[in-house]
Each structure stands twice: as structure tokens, then as C-alpha cells.
Structure 1
Amino acid sequence: MFLGQIQGLFMTMRLWDILDILVVAFFLYRIYILIRDTRATALLKGLVFLGIFTVIAGWLQLHVVSWILDKLMTVLIVALPVVFQPELRRALEQIGRGKFYVSSRVMNEVEWDHVIDDVVAATMTMSANKIGALIVFERSVGLDDRIDTGIRIEGLVSKELLGNIFIVNTPLHDGAVIIRENRVMAAGCLLPLTRDHNLSTELGTRHRAAIGMSEQADCVIVVVSEETGIVSYTYGGHIYRGQDAESLKNILRNYLVTSKPKGVSDVLQKWRPLK
């Protein structure tokens, strides 16, 4: 019976119906690509599991729970445009620029080595001259909300560009630089300060901002102290001080250089419920 219904459905399908399905599937895929590396992914996971729980509650005839969940889902649907406002705006911008339809290119190991070498060279030069710097490397969690707080650059990474950005008493000196793959996306960006009150008093605003940003995303952040010239990096809400050129290069390679593309297992891994 079920196979017969499927066969009947295919028999009634027209060529335009197939095209219609493919267009919708393509747009859903591009929307997933757009939000999969942002904090909106966690919100979407919550909505999916809330929807599943609503169906289960209805199937088990939990009337009070179903009523509460139905009302909650109605409120969430109204609130979605507000919650996803940055992602919706970015999607419209990409449609206007033609980037919505183009898949992003994955950098290879040689390209990453060039980026890391330039960043490390600039970092050590600034360390020797005691020039403060804050360099954020975007990883799987998108940082577009932080990029929007700074001045857009979207220039190729080079030690000369980074050196010019962090020249003392320039407009972009006190903010953070955000790097996405091989491009400096923006400079002068504002980062959230950590709420950890147990940090050493030696750590100033620049270090606290680096720790705070690493608490909210999986980015790795390089910090150069303006007072001492000490090079540090932060990840996962922790700071690791006293890095030299070789150790910093190895650390960045470990965090940034990927040796294999994302497969189905990686996608499924990202969709596990958060603990």
C-alpha cells in the first residue's frame, strides 16, 4: 500500500515539480551553510528539539504540556525575525552581492602557513617594540556580529597590514583585528570582557577582552601586551602567556590548519544536543 502511494506520487509528478523541489532544497542548503557556523545554530537546535518534544507530548496526550508548548511555539515564531535578525540581514546582503549562491573555498595547508607566518612575524615585531595588539582568528563559530562593530577591511593578511593597523595612536590601534581564513575582515572591533574576577591584576583590558571573546566562541586569539611586550594567546576562556615565535606558530597550526574536509559524521556531530 505504502509503496503504491509512492509510485502514484512519482507518476503524477511533472518536470516543473522536480525543479520546484530542487530550488527549495538548494535554498534550504544555502541557508544551512549560512547559519551553521554561527551562534544561531544553537538556537536552531533548541527549536528543533522543542518541536520534537511538542509532537511527542501530543502523541502521549499530555494535554497541559501540549498546550504550553503550542503557545510557546507561537511566541517563538513571532520572535524568530528578532532573534535571527543578524543572520537574516547577512543573508539579504549576500543575495544582493551574489555570494549567496557561491560556495566558499576551503584553504589548503600551504595558504594557512603563509597566513600564520605573516601573523607570527608581525606579532614578534610588535612584541619587540611593545606595541599592543589583539588578533582574533575565526574558526567554526562565525564572528559577524563582532566584525560589524569595527571597520571593514577584507584585505589579505600580511605582516605589513597588521603592523600598520596597530601603530600607536591610530584610530584602529585599541580594537581587535578579526581574521577569517586569509583575510583581515575588520579592525577596531569591540570584544566582550570576561566576567572572571579571579584573574591577575597584571592583565589589562586587552587581555580581558581576549579571554571574554574566547569564552563565547571557539576562536583563538593572540594578544601582545603594550606594557611588557609579552605574547599570549587565549582559547576556551583560558590565557597562555609567554609565547615565542616557534611555539605560537605551532599553536596556530594546531588550531587552524585542518587536514581533512568535513564529512557526514562531522555534520551529525554538530547537531548533537548541547550539554
Structure 2
Amino acid sequence: MELTFTYLALLFYLSASLAYMGSLAARPGKLLKVAGILARAGFVLHTGALAVHLYQQGRPPANLADWLAFYAWATVAVYLVTEAHYESKVIGSFAIPLVLLLLGASAALPKTIETLSPPLKHFGVWMHVILTLLGNAAFALACCGAVMFLVQEWLLKSKHPGVLFERLPSLKLLDDLSYFSLVLGFPLLTLGLLSGVLVSYSVWGSFLSWDGRQIWSSITWVFYAALLHGRLAGGWRGRKAAILSIIGFCGVAFASLAANLIIRGTHAF
């Protein structure tokens, strides 16, 4: 049942991605509406797949395939909040293809079974996973907004911007989107890391075990703290903030996918 829901969600996300992309080249009205419906249908099926997974496994994500599936779900959830806040569905033309990539990678990876010790199944671990996923998902949206900002800026400076320039949101809205996602994601990541530190202390008797993921996540947190401070106090906006948002998300991706392969530790993947 989980696989069925997952493959159906992939199908709907693929259809939504094509509809979103089509809306950038054609009249956006009907296509954007269809794309939104398809994305939401995919989200419902995706939720069903994760619900079945949680019912069967009864544990937090314990391998990379699980984590990517949950991360894709969190990214859609944050996107839907962002879309409602800005009343702009065009953001989905960048966000939903990213979700499709994440969930597709999850479906393609082997589903290795990782056994978690009983202490790692308590409430604190769930809080750590959920908050961290939502924080990183908000940073994914900030990155999407930053990429769109750079594309729109390049189109604005070109002599013949074309139809894509008319379809994408204004530079101000895209900059605000990245800022909103940063303000949303940073507290979530902070609480997620703090809950992880408390879990580490309660299980192993030390606040940090210094595995690759903890080290790089700490570096990423410092980077986003500096970016948020720069935006609040230093007036960082526009192109500079967009480039830094993209760099920050690259750090998130590295922390999630590669850091723990370099320095193994308490994280299962």
C-alpha cells in the first residue's frame, strides 16, 4: 500500500510539474489552477504513503530513502503555506519539481532496514526530526525563491525578456518570499537542533557526539544565523541575499546527504 501511494504521488507531482512548467510558457490561468489541484492530490497521496509507513514501522526515518520521502513531504507542506501567504501559485513551478526529484530519489533508493534502540523512539526524537525537516524545507523554499529572483533579474536586464519575465513574480515578491522562508525556517531548525542536543544528552550522557551531520548542521545553523542577522540589521536584500540563500541550501543538502558519510556517528544515515 505504501508503494502504491508513493507511485501515485509521484505521478501527480510529475503531472503538476509539467502543468506548472507549461504555465510559464502559455496563458497561466487554467494551467496554474490544474497544477495546484494536481500538487494537492499528490500531497494527499504522499501523506497516505507516510501514514502507512509510520503505522508499519513505528519509528522516525532511519535511512536516507525514508528521510528523502519525509523531506519531500515537508517541502510541499511549507510550499502550500507559502503559496497561501503570497497568493502566488507560480512558486510551484520551481518547488514541485524539487519535490518530485526528492521523492523520486527516495523511491529509487534501497529500503534498508535500520534497527533503532528503544531510547531513540521516544518523543524527543520525533520532535527533533519533525522540526529539522520543516526548517530545512523552509530553506528549500528560500532557495527556490532565490533562484527565481536571479532568473527574473537576468530577464529584466536582457533586451528581450520574453514571456517568462511576465509569468514570474516581481523581484520584490521573490525577495520577500526568501526572507519569509528564512524567518520561518531558522526558528524551526534552531528548535530541531536543540531537541537533538537534549536527546543526545538523555541517551548518551553528552550534548554532542560530533558526527558528520551534527558538525555540518551546526555550521549551517551559524551560516543561516548570519544571513538572518544580515537581512535584519545589515539590510541584505536582492542579489546578495539570493546567492547566500542558494549557498545555504547547498550546505543543507551536504549535511543531509554526504556529511555523515565522511564522519560516522550516531545518526543512522
Tell me the TM-score normalized by structure 1.
Answer: 0.22
Higher strand share: 1
Question: Which of these two proteins has the greater Rg computed from alpha carbons?
Answer: 1
Pick 1 or 2: higher relative contact order, CA cutoff 8 A, min separation 6.
2
